[in-house]
Structure 1
Amino acid sequence: MMDLLYLYIFLLAAFVGYEVISRVPVILHTPLMSGSNFVHGVVLVGSMWALAHAETPLQLVLGFLAVLLGAANAAGGYVVTERMLGMFAAKGDARAVTRKEA
């Protein structure tokens, strides 16, 4: 019974997350991500906690997927933030020049 509850919560969270993000205008998406990178870290820690307390194979699979997707989401948020900051860097900024050469 608990497995179905966890699966329901997982599917509900996936659906709500998709609906919320899909309604964000494109122009606000990057600043929104840069401002919410800390939330991705909290999600990742929560998914690691859920994986550590998993008991059944279904819980292990869902916990592993949560950690995998949470880590990808956190890393993607920082990549997008770095790219956004690079777009607004001054032309003489040494860090911006180094990034473009690499």
Structure 2
Amino acid sequence: MIERIDTGARMSRIVKHNGTAYLCGQVGEGATVTEQTQDCLARIDALLERAGSSRGKILQAIVWLSDMADFAEMNAVWDAWVPEGEAPARACGEARLARDTLKVEIIVTAAC
């Protein structure tokens, strides 16, 4: 069974299937990479809770940065957020994001 949460015409915020939650890409508010990453991860926490999961159950994360020069700044926030010993498989790349003000977008898949 597939469960879709907060479904609109274009996408669902969460899709659950066979004990796995797939979150839509999350971005955050703020002027800096640190602020945007913190807000983005707080939004991910909230969605994971709605899906019956948590950050310790993340299987995979895909991080998009608008500029790879921000890699270390984003990682400082990420490393403090991920539970010790429970780091997911992760990829990080540079991409042009949906708005010029966005610096980071994170996509997460987690066990429920």
Q: State the TM-score, normalized to the length of structure 1.
A: 0.31
Higher strand share: 2
The one of the two structures with greater contact order (alpha-carbon pairs below 8 A, sep at least 6) is 2
- Between structure 1 and structure 2, the one with the greater Rg is 1
Q: State the TM-score, normalized to the length of structure 2.
A: 0.29
